[in-house]
């Protein structure tokens, strides 16, 4: 059961089917353009969408809004230092700000960043700094149906070969995304982190964590890695941070706040250079683009997020929804992670070719049938067509992500999602695809407009 009770509630919008139909047409079938009040269950993201605790709100009320040296900063600093052990902590307004500051300080054209999988803003910030973002996911990650517990791992052989090979001298850093959002939300084992850390030390390459979901990763380690069965998630998290030279953190996930982030670093010279860029572009080093209350709420959230009862329930809710989805006849990336389920839309809708976007088709059906908003992670996101709409490149998988906001929806909300999917799956062959009407040159899934393509009989 949920290890909390509900003190403040917010009504859920309940548009009718006709209103949803009209809304979809109005936004030209781009779910990002819906107004949130047109959405009944919003599973677009788990980022900044969590519910604050009473203790977090109280901490926020005690926030000190001094421009520099506020009490809030010191409370935040102490909480992050205790958790991570890094010598230098810089607040930033969210994860991608931390990425931009670190990468534009550390990278230059021609350099390479290796990762288990770069999240999309992480990749974009590496590329904006002129460097190359190269993913080295482990082999198990390629089999979506395999229940292997640590499919978020980096491929250690490929990592060792790259570091020792002709590109080795160009590798500027190695990033481990925990959990691996771009790879189905799968966790990384401590063994994989340790071996990566050792390889990085051997080759003198800095090793960083993209720690957005560090607590969820730690929980899955205590469940599935024998050597860590008797540790607390907090102990696992502390050890993980100490295997790396620093981290970037989007606090909108595992600090359960609406806005916030930070950079942790051990290298004093790098910290000084990052701090100057932070001051020029985010804010002074003791607030980093945030209010004092945000820093206090982050500090409190970081202590709540590793509570075993909280993590156990979060994993259980994800497993509960996974069960409903499988029972509906829809496959997911196995095993279910914690922050999201990734539906295999390509398999559910084989009659829709990738360039007619089966993932997007399923996402639109989820909205139409149940008022549920999700995110396509398929060929609308990663593919490419020529001017006539013929396929040039398609995504490796056609997926839809159902992200689970923290402490927001209960099991009956998720049962509604399961029931809606079951209704769609029964008539899967009547679901139609889409074609793009207009698109932007980059990040097209955010701004594209689309039109339905009728099912061929």
Kindly state the smallest distance separating residue 177's Cβ from ligand F0G, in Å: 5
Of 252 and 360, the one with the shorter C-beta distance to ligand F0G is 252
Whether 67 is catalytic is: yes
Kindly state the smallest distance separating residue 181's Cβ from ligand F0G, in Å: 4
Whether 253 is catalytic is: yes
The residues near 372 (Cβ < 8 Å, ≥ 6 apart) are 39, 40, 41, 42, 43, 366, 402, 416, 417, 420
Whether 79 is catalytic is: no
- Pick the catalytic residue from 25, 67, 161, 194: 67
Whether 214 is catalytic is: no
Q: Which residues bind ligand F0G (CB under 6 A)?
A: 45, 47, 94-96, 119, 121-122, 177, 181, 210, 212, 250, 252, 261
Of 298 and 348, the one with the shorter C-beta distance to ligand F0G is 298
Among residues 15, 12, 11, 13, the alpha carbon closest in space to that of 368 is found at 15
Contact 286, 305 (CB under 8 A): no
Kindly state the smallest distance separating residue 155's Cβ from ligand F0G, in Å: 18
Kindly state the smallest distance separating residue 18's Cβ from ligand F0G, in Å: 30
- Pick the catalytic residue from 42, 135, 155, 210: 210
Whether 432 is catalytic is: no
Of 171 and 340, the one with the shorter C-beta distance to ligand F0G is 340
The residue number whose beta carbon is nearest to ligand F0G equals: 95
Whether 413 is catalytic is: no
Whether 429 is catalytic is: no
Measured CA to CA, the distance from residue 29 to residue 26 in angstroms comes to: 8
- Pick the catalytic residue from 103, 119, 342, 414: 119
Of 79 and 298, the one with the shorter C-beta distance to ligand F0G is 298
- Pick the catalytic residue from 64, 120, 167, 267: 120
Of 262 and 356, the one with the shorter C-beta distance to ligand F0G is 262
Kindly state the smallest distance separating residue 95's Cβ from ligand F0G, in Å: 2
CA distances to 313, 317, 358, 426 from 432, rounded to whole Å, are 37, 31, 8, 14
CA distances to 91, 130, 295 from 59, rounded to whole Å, are 17, 40, 9
Contact 104, 277 (CB under 8 A): yes
Q: Report, as residue numbers or ranges, the catalytic residues.
A: 67, 119-120, 210, 212, 253, 445
């Amino acid at each position: 059961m949920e290890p909390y009770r509900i003190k403040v509630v917010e009504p859920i919008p309940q548009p009718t089917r006709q209103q949803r139909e009209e809304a979809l047409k109005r936004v030209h079938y781009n779910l990002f353009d819906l107004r949130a009040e047109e959405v009944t269950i919003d599973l677009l993201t788990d980022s900044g969408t969590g519910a604050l605790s009473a203790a977090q709100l109280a901490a926020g009320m005690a926030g000190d809004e001094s421009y520099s040296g506020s009490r809030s900063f010191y409370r935040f600093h102490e909480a992050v230092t205790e958790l991570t052990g890094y010598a230098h902590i810089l607040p930033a307004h969210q994860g991608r700000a931390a990425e931009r500051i670190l990468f534009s300080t550390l990278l230059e054209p021609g350099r390479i960043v290796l990762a288990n999988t770069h999240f999309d803003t992480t990749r974009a910030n590496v590329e904006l700094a002129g460097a190359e973002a190269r993913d080295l996911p482990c082999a198990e990650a390629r089999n979506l149906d395999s229940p292997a517990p640590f499919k978020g791992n980096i491929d250690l052989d490929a990592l060792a070969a790259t570091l020792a090979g002709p590109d080795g001298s160009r590798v500027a850093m190695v990033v481990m995304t925990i959990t691996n959002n771009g790879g189905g939300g799968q966790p990384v084992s401590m063994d994989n982190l340790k071996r990566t850390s050792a390889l990085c030390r051997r080759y003198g390459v800095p090793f960083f964590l993209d720690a957005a979901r560090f607590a969820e990763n730690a929980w899955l380690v205590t469940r599935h890695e024998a050597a860590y069965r008797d540790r607390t998630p907090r102990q696992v998290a502390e050890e993980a941070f100490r295997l790396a030279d620093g981290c970037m953190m989007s606090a909108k996930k595992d600090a359960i706040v609406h806005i916030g982030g930070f950079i942790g670093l051990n290298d004093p010279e790098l910290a000084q250079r990052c701090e100057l860029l932070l001051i020029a572009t985010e804010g002074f080093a003791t607030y980093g683009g945030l209010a004092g209350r945000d820093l206090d709420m982050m500090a409190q959230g970081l202590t709540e997020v590793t509570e075993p009862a909280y993590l156990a329930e979060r994993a259980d809710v994800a497993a509960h929804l996974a069960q409903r989805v499988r029972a509906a006849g829809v496959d997911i990336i196995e095993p279910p992670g914690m922050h999201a389920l990734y539906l295999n839309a390509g398999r559910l809708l084989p009659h829709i070719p990738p360039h007619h976007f089966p993932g997007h088709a399923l996402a639109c059906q989820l909205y139409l049938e149940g008022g549920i908003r999700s995110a396509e992670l398929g060929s609308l996101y990663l593919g490419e067509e020529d001017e006539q709409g013929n396929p040039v490149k398609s995504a490796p998988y056609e997926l839809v992500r159902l992200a689970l906001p923290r402490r927001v929806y209960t099991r009956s909300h998720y049962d509604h999602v399961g029931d809606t999917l079951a209704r769609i799956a029964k008539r899967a062959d009547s679901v139609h695809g889409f074609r793009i009407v207009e698109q932007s040159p980059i990040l097209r899934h955010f701004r594209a407009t689309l039109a339905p393509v009728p099912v061929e009989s």
